Amino acid sequence: MLPTSAIPTSSNTVDDCSICLNVLAPGLPLLTLSCNHKYHLNCLASNVQAQNKECPLCRAPIDASIVQLLTSRIQPPIQPHITPLPIPFPSQIRAAYNIPSVEDPVDEAAVRALFNHLASARQAAIASANTASNLPLITVSITLEYGAQISHEESNIYGLVTLQASSAILPSNNESLALPHAPIDLVCVVDQSGSMSGEKMRLLKQTLVYIVEQLNDLDRLAIISFDTQAYDRSHGLKRMNQQNQQILTRTINYDIPAGGGTYIGCGLEMGINLFTSRRTKNSLGALLLLTDGQDNLQHDYSQLMETLPEGVLCHTFGYGPDHTASLLVQLAEKGNGGTFTYIDQVQAVGSAFAMTLGGLFSCIAQQLRVNIEFNGEYRISHVHSKHEHEPKKLPSNKITFKLNDLNADEKRNLVFQLHVPKVNNNQQVEMDNQQIISQNEQTFFDQSTIGQVIVTYVEPNSNQTITTNPVSFQLIRMDQPSADLLQVNYTLDIQRNRVETAREIKRAMDENDYQRSLAILKAQVEKIKASVSAQDPFCQLLVKDLEYRYPSERDYRSSHQNAYMQHSSERGTYAPTTNASAAQYLSYPQQQQATHFQQNQLPPMYIQQQMPPPYVQQQLPPPYAQQ
């Protein structure tokens, strides 16, 4: 990475515009070229419109996108010698003019070539692993709470569908960071209010430059900053070729001052507009929103978030203890299944963004549809997972869960309740592989198929729709099931503890009374301790996290909002060390990207002398703990 202080500057920098020879007064519309020479915006526009497309001082060619902007710009008269009145905040200087956005179009031919390359790379990885050529990207498994139910009684039991994304295509060490990925349209919307000054802004700029460096020529990036107004720093979605990377790096380091108040909505709206106005688009899209404060006035962004295009995820980051965590959680939830990250330590902003970037780089499935269908009178009565589903009105013997995407090495567990009807043993019961077995003078039926699940999804590299093979639900129905068949399934009980903990954390965060909020979490702790899976390492971490006492109510709520989002979505982000249970959701690519960021920002001796970063301290379960 090129540090802020190391970016070269021109030795010919002057205080006058070399076109009109008037002073470059603060507050006037100015534009700095890639050669680092600065001019009045209108003077340079007139120069370009006169077909002078080189820097008047050094004769370096002016970037084509800047030429296009200035050629189309109609400028009002300007008096460069007039000194403007003082403006309260430095960031408002740029409000005097607005350079229109110009989108770099997607290179469709290059994208197709990349998709072919990725398909070949995957086949090569499969071959080297000596696996079958039809290795699925996603495997599906099912679990019911019990192995059997009494045939002449109704009951209500839990069910579980688990989706596991393949990690076979992921190489070891840091090689995956160099592998191509499905092209991304990424918009970073960042707070530049006065509270971001100093170390916060320095580390944020360092992180933005890292993001610029990690994207390739097929990825497109836009950077929006905001205080009480929004500023399009990239002037639209730009492909991250070498030239645009250099321009944007300079912009990040020099043109994002800290000052003014906070209005999240103006930055959010400008970022969403870049997506809705796209003439071309990459297969993946994400908006990253970071703020360290609260809106000067309360706003409802529900209608604005409805305009976010389907498939574009909104990931939010709360920087420090003073942001409104509940608002950022709401934006993420309405942002097509995005995540919320509470950045409790100023120096953790880079790791937080890197983890999200690692997830985006490893997306293997989009538009997932989990279709569950049960036979006869079996009905799904309740859903305990946060994902959207149809029909919304239950009970129903058919249900379809909708998931936006799944990244390599991730897992999703869909938890629901199933109404089990009576079975009349005097009637012929249709079963798959039905057998009558005599044991200890008891007669019972073998496992029977009561339903099945099929998953369809779009592979983002090829845009091909893939359908998994059906997986069947099996449940024994008999008059007197044995004790082992009526034992609660251990795996399902862990997932029940997870979804119930997420629900209770949400309920506690919605409770304004602090003591009543604490009481809700205390009750959930007791419920986990009494469960079948209470001694499971993950459940013990849940208890430890819920029992932790925070120094302030604001820390308590910010940290638990982070925990709620991770436990409900099963998607990893950076988390405070007080949320150790959330570490299990971090995928291998996310950990690689975070480690890569750390190694690129700190000198080798510093890395060796420091304690491991928070995402390593959090007692990751196998295989991560062994990586």
Last residue of a domain, one of 445, 468, 487: 487
pLDDT of 373 above 70: yes
Q: What is the DSSP letter of 588?
A: H
User: Exposed, middle or buried by CB within 10 Å (0-12, 13-18, 19+), for 228?
Assistant: middle
Q: What is the mean pLDDT of the chain?
A: 83
If one compares 303 and 606, the residue with the highest pLDDT of the two is: 303
Q: Return the minimum-mean-pLDDT range out of 44-58, 302-316, 333-347.
A: 44-58
Whole-number CA gyration radius for the chain: 28
Considering the domain architecture, whether residues 327 and 427 belong to the same structural domain is answered as no
Q: What is the pLDDT of residue 11?
A: 39
Is 534 contained in some domain?
yes
Which pair of structure tokens corresponds to residue 79?
A: 């008096």
Dump pLDDT digits (tens) for 468-524: 999 999 999 999 999 999 999 999 999 999 999 999 999 999 999 999 999 999 999
Cβ of 76: how many Cβ atoms within 10 Å? 6
7-11, 398-402, 600-604, range with greatest mean pLDDT: 398-402
Which pair of structure tokens corresponds to residue 410?
A: 């991730």
* Closest CA relative to residue 271, chosen from 221, 310, 320: 221
**Whole-model pTM?**
0.78
Cβ of 144: how many Cβ atoms within 10 Å? 20
Which residues lie closer than 8 Å to 516 by C-beta, 6 or more apart?
Answer: none
Is 177 contained in some domain?
no
Which residues lie closer than 8 Å to 56 by C-beta, 6 or more apart?
Answer: 18, 19, 37, 39, 47
Considering the domain architecture, whether residues 233 and 264 belong to the same structural domain is answered as yes
Considering the domain architecture, whether residues 107 and 71 belong to the same structural domain is answered as no
Dump pLDDT digits (tens) for 516-546: 999 999 999 999 999 999 999 999 999 999 9
Up-side HSE of residue 624: CA atoms within 13 Å toward CB? 21
Is 590 contained in some domain?
yes
Considering the domain architecture, whether residues 246 and 278 belong to the same structural domain is answered as yes
* Alpha carbon separation from 25 to 74, 199, 440 (Å, rounded): 21, 28, 98
How far apart (Å, rounded) are the C-alpha atoms in residues 495 and 568? Answer: 11
Q: Which helix (H) or strand (E) holds 597?
A: helix 588-601
How far apart (Å, rounded) are the C-alpha atoms in residues 575 and 618? Answer: 9
Is 30 contained in some domain?
yes
Q: What is the pLDDT of residue 609?
A: 35
DSSP helix/strand/coil, 327 = helix
Considering the domain architecture, whether residues 119 and 11 belong to the same structural domain is answered as no
Is 35 contained in some domain?
yes
Considering the domain architecture, whether residues 316 and 437 belong to the same structural domain is answered as no
Considering the domain architecture, whether residues 495 and 479 belong to the same structural domain is answered as no
DSSP helix/strand/coil, 25 = coil
How far apart (Å, rounded) are the C-alpha atoms in residues 427 and 45? Answer: 86
Is 230 contained in some domain?
yes
Query: CATH number, domain at 455?
Result: 2.60.40.3670
Considering the domain architecture, whether residues 58 and 153 belong to the same structural domain is answered as no
Q: What is the pLDDT of residue 621?
A: 38
Q: What is the pLDDT of residue 26?
A: 57
Q: What is the pLDDT of residue 625?
A: 35
pLDDT of 179 above 70: no
Beta strands in 292-428 (DSSP E): 312-319, 340-343, 363-374, 379-383, 388-390, 398-407, 411-420
Please list the alpha-helical segments (H only) found in 167-276.
199-214, 242-254, 264-276
Mean pLDDT computed over 43-65: 78
Considering the domain architecture, whether residues 63 and 106 belong to the same structural domain is answered as no
Q: What is the pLDDT of residue 558?
A: 93
Domain region containing 623: 489-627
Give phi and psi for 585, each to the nearest 5. Answer: -85, -10
Domain total in the chain:
4
Last residue of a domain, one of 437, 461, 487: 487
Considering the domain architecture, whether residues 493 and 483 belong to the same structural domain is answered as no
Dump pLDDT digits (tens) for 408-443: 999 999 999 999 999 875 443 444 344 443 333 333
Is 189 contained in some domain?
yes
Considering the domain architecture, whether residues 356 and 345 belong to the same structural domain is answered as yes
Q: What is the pLDDT of residue 89?
A: 33
Last residue of a domain, one of 319, 336, 361: 361
Considering the domain architecture, whether residues 587 and 504 belong to the same structural domain is answered as yes
Which pair of structure tokens corresponds to residue 623?
A: 């295989």
Strands 284-291 and 379-383: unpaired
Residues 366, 372, 375: CA angle, nearest 5 degrees: 165
Is 93 contained in some domain?
no
